[in-house]
Every structure is written in C-alpha cells, then in structure tokens.
Amino acid sequence: MWDRTTRYGELASQLHAEICAGEFRPGDKLPSIRALCSRFKGSSATVTHALYLLEDAGLIAARPRSGFYVRERQVIVGPQPRPEVAAQPALPAQRALLRELDQLHVHEQPMLFAVIDPELYPVVALQRIMTAQARRNPSFFTLGDMCTESPLSEQLARRGRLMGCNWRAEDITVTSGGKFSHRALLRVLIKPGDTVAIASPASMRLLWDLDAMGLNVLEIPAHPEYGLSIDTLDFVLKREKVAACIFSANFSHPTGGLMSDDAKRRTVGLLAKYGVPLIEDDHNGELYFGKSRPLPFKAFDQAGLVHYITNLSDLVSPGMSLGFAVTNLRRELEFMPEPAPLFQHTLAAFMASGLFEPHLRRLRQTLAAYAKMHRAAVQRHFPPEACSHAVLGGHWLWVELPRGFDSVALLRRALTVGIAFAPGQLFCTDGSLNHCLRLNMGMPLTDRTERNIAALGQLISEELAQLRTE
C-alpha cells in the first residue's frame, strides 16, 4: 500500500497490518508518538509521517491533545506480512564516528569539516586594529571584564535594521558564540524530560547537546532547498506538547535550505498560536549569494517568542569566539561569561571603520564561486542517482542517494584511499539519513579535491551497482 523502501512507509504498513489483524480495534487509542519511536527505534519525524499516511487513508483519526484512534471501517485490505523492524544506530555510535573523524586534519580533508578557507578572513586588518586598541587601552590585559563598556552592541543594533529588525543596543547581549547561547536559553526555557522540536537533518553537535541535557527530540523534516516542513510542524504541535523549538530559517546546516518569507511568517505565527518559544540560530544568514540579506524569523516576531542567536566569529575570525543574542530573557543570560573585551572592541572598531561590509561582500562572492565549482564537479563525477539542490548560501552541499544506500560503508571505503566526508547518519537520531552525505565547499576546489570527488563518485557508482544486485 505504501513504499516500503522508506522507513515511514514500512512503519505505516506494519501498523496497517496490526489494525487489520485486530490488534487495534475501532475506537482503540494507538500508542503515543514517543512510545512508537521507542518501539520502532525511529525518529519522531518518521513516526509522524507514518501516522499521517494512516490518517490520510482513513484508518485512524487524530483527537487534539489526546492522540490517534482507530476509526470505524467498512472494508480494509486483509492483513499483510509483518516486516522485520531493523534496529537503527544509536546516538553513542554516532558520537564514536564523530570522534573518529575529529582525529583527521582539516587541511588534509577539506570536504569533511564545515570550515571556511582561512585565507578569506581579514586577519591583517584585525591585527592592526587589535594592536591599536591594546596600545590605547592596556586595561584590557589588567582589568578584563571591568573595562569600559564595549560599543559593539551599538554597531550590531545598526545592522539589525538591514535584517528587518528594530533592535536597540540595550536589547543585545554579546555572547561567546551561538552554541553557548542556545545551551543557556534551553536551560531557562525547558527542564529535563521536556520535548524540543528541531529540523532534520540537524547539526550533530546540537543533537549531542540535547541528548546530554536529557531532552526528548522531535525531528521535523526539512527540504534541502526550501527548509522546514511547516505542515509537519503544525501536525506535530496539534498532537504533542513541545516545550521549545530550535530552527534556522537561512541556510541551515547541513542542507543549506532557505525558507521563503511567507514560510517564515507562517512558522512564527504557528508557534505563537501554540505558545511555543523558538530559539533561532541564524549564524549562516550573512552567507547569502543573492542580492539581499534574507530576513530571520525574528523579523516576523510580534509575541516575543523568538529568541535570536548568531555567531559572528565565523564571519571574521573563528578564534575570537564572538556572537550575540536578542531575547526578552536577557537577564537570565547575564550569568554567561562574556567574550574578551579586547575582542569586542576590536570587532566594533572593524565594523565602524567601513571595512566590515566590503569584507562580507568578498566573502560571499568567493564562497559562491567555490560552491559553483564544487557542485559542478559533483555533477560531473557523481552518478545520476546522486541528487543535490541549488546552493543559495552557506558552504556545504547535501547529496541524497537512493534509500538503502549506506554512506557509512562508503566512508569506510573512502578512508582507505584518503578521502573523508560527513555521512548523513551524523545529522539525525536514528540513522534514517544514512543514504545522504554532506560535503564542505568552504575551501577552494584544488586539483586534488577534484580528483577526490571523482574517486568518491566512482566508489558511489560501485556501491550502487552492488545495491542493485542485492
């Protein structure tokens, strides 16, 4: 009845068979999404999609804030053989793989790590400004946080207007980067055992943090080009108690999807309807390849439920560890350690000097050129079954292969010839994205990189040929 090559199709078929066999009678309540996730070792996105298929087929009906119930039925196709449910890799296995890959060197594996070419950072200008700041104010080294207040918030407030946001300097909290901000906000907004909704695929570091905090994760499918599935989010919010969401509207990692303004507006309105706070991670928003900077979710926030965080270091200097947050929970963030005052004053002076905007333009233009060359190389050397989407910003390419393809097995073969990439398994909780892979495009396409792409394409063709014979 449904495509069993997909996990949600397989799960829907099994539940259909159990309903037909009388294991669930008309009027019976199905197990909760959480219970089904535990039983089938699947993600909430997979389970939700399966239930949506059953509801579309008229087999079950949802009751708001109650769950799914088997409907009265007239004629249902007889029971089907129950498929075996394969155990999926657990998060510890993904952590072990991530630790293994972290041992590799970024200069030897430019397609693996999501990094930007160091040559693109304004190192000389920052060195000059930092030296001048240190000479002018030696107290940066002796007084630390007790130095004069940084003008960085004023500069960031001015930039907010370019993003459709009327921020004031007092609305801005300078932070040590996005990862510290989302952890701090989560501690305020949720408690262990709560449910957090995220887009899927998601950053492995985010999955790791949520797991360490004892949170339940609902994965909302996201299209590699258009971003978050709002219909699925609506479906989930009607049926599950979600304490908070963590989404990126602009060039989310690892897919690079960009949501339309209408989709952003709908998402913010939907979350306001259910009173669910949103932590918006917008650290890729400045890496657009189009004519104008895409608006964040925060630009559409009327209820104060969007807590905006971003990372500035990735734009100018990863070593400076700078970011900022705009949230009505500013007092709750006061306990967070601030970045070094010397770094704050240096970046503020860099922005005030008129050098920041030209730097960003050059950065975007170069990354757009890198992306064009990398995607063209992938299209030249990968088999036609490998699907990638237009790259509108960011510096990574998400590649989808037919379901059943094992990108971890591909990685093991590729490592034997000195090639590494990030398999899709790293970006979900249940291994359901193992047919995908992510390639970094933040480094120049050298002859060596093109040879590695060609060799990887050959390995993919061989794996696909073997898959067709099984």
Contact (CB, 8 A) for 244 and 196: yes
Q: What is the mean pLDDT of residues 52-69?
A: 73
Convert the pLDDT of each residue in 322-375 to its tens digit: 999 999 988 877 767 778 889 999 999 999 999 999 999 999 999 999 999 999
The contacts of residue 135 (CB under 8 Å, 6+ apart) are none
Instruction: Please provide the average confidence, as pLDDT, over all residues in the chain.
Output: 87
Q: What b-and-e string marks burial along 29-58, b requiring 16 or more CB atoms within 10 Å of the CB?
A: ebeebeebbeebbbbbbbbbbbbbbbeeee
Q: What is the pTM of this model?
A: 0.80
Task: Name the 3-class secondary structure at 293.
Answer: coil
Name the architecture of domain 122-357: 3-Layer(aba) Sandwich (3.40)
Half-sphere exposure of 37 (CA within 13 A, CB side): 17
Q: What is the mean pLDDT of residues 367-393?
A: 96
321 torsion bin: left (phi>0), alpha (psi -120 to 50), beta (else): left
* Identity of the residue numbered 365: Q
The predicted structure's pLDDT at residue 145: 54
pLDDT at 127 over 50: yes
Strand partners, 440: 396
Portion of the chain with pLDDT greater than 70, in percent: 90
pLDDT at 316 over 90: yes
The CATH classification of domain 91-119+360-469, taken from the options 1.10.760.10, 2.40.50.140, 3.90.1150.10, 3.50.50.60: 3.90.1150.10
The predicted structure's pLDDT at residue 89: 39
Encoded tokens for 48 = 């939700």
Convert the pLDDT of each residue in 255-299 to its tens digit: 999 999 999 999 999 999 999 999 999 999 999 999 999 999 999
Q: What is the mean pLDDT of residues 241-257?
A: 95
Convert the pLDDT of each residue in 412-427 to its tens digit: 999 999 999 999 999 9
- Specify the CATH number of the domain 7-70: 1.10.10.10
The predicted structure's pLDDT at residue 146: 52
Query: Among the listed ranges 199-203, 213-217, 313-317, which one has the minimum average pLDDT value?
Result: 213-217
Contact (CB, 8 A) for 232 and 8: no
**What are the start and end residues of each CATH 1.10.10.10 domain in the chain?**
7-70
Confidence of residue 107 (pLDDT cuts 50, 70, 90): confident
Convert the pLDDT of each residue in 158-208 to its tens digit: 999 889 998 999 999 998 876 778 888 888 898 888 999 999 999 988 888
pLDDT at 80 over 50: no
Query: Among the listed ranges 28-42, 375-389, 437-451, 455-469, which one has the minimum average pLDDT value?
Result: 28-42
Angle, helices 204-212/178-189, rounded to nearest 10 degrees: 30
Query: Among the listed ranges 17-26, 329-338, 382-391, which one has the minimum average pLDDT value?
Result: 329-338
CB-CB neighbours of 321 under 10 Å: 17
